[in-house]
């Protein structure tokens, strides 16, 4: 029977950073409230949550990287809203923000949660930020709790035992000829 390892758990005892873009502020404020609601419901205390505001979505990965480098947090939540306009700017920003956030997670081996909306219209952004139900910020908060707990469980896994312990399959060292 395989071992199944899941995150789950509560936010108590974990530290979180949230990076929120100020651009499209009405939307990102709702995303922030959703994320905070999820963390609080999960048991996080206010003093274990830091919120950092940045001008726009493009700045999120740089700040997330600095926060990850500090090793102070168990997870970082990135919140923003990029809404399509009439120029290709949307594609460039969306792609770079996505790539940058993923890179921070890979580089530091920690959960960096993507809570950046990329929508075609303001109405879509509203619908995904709590106006009428769904709040992707709340979902990002839940993902942060789950992933922070999963990472702690993975780090705590016991080392596998090997059959034939004490024997070696390594080749003997070669003699150097001078």
Give me the active site residues, please.
89
d(C-alpha 17, C-alpha 28), whole Å: 15
d(C-alpha 30, C-alpha 153), whole Å: 31
Distances (CA, A) of 95 to 10, 21, 81, 92: 32, 16, 13, 5
d(C-alpha 7, C-alpha 10), whole Å: 9
d(C-alpha 148, C-alpha 15), whole Å: 9
What are 131's two structure tokens? 């106006």
């Amino acid at each position: 029977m395989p071992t199944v390892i899941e995150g789950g758990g509560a936010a108590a005892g974990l530290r979180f950073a949230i990076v929120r873009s100020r651009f499209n502020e009405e939307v990102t404020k709702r995303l922030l409230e959703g994320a905070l609601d999820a963390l609080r419901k999960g048991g996080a205390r206010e003093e274990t949550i830091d919120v950092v505001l940045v001008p726009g979505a493009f700045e999120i990965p740089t700040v997330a990287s600095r926060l990850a480098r500090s090793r102070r947090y168990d997870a970082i939540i990135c919140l923003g809203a990029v809404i399509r306009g009439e120029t290709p700017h949307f594609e460039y920003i969306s792609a770079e923000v996505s790539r940058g956030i993923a890179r921070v997670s890979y580089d530091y081996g920690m959960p960096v949660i993507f809570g950046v909306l990329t929508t075609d219209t303001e109405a879509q952004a509203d619908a995904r930020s709590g106006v009428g139900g769904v709040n992707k910020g709340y979902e990002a908060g839940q993902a942060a709790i789950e992933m922070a707990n999963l990472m702690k469980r993975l780090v705590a896994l016991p080392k596998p035992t090997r059959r034939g312990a004490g024997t070696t399959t390594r080749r003997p060292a070669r003699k150097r000829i001078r």
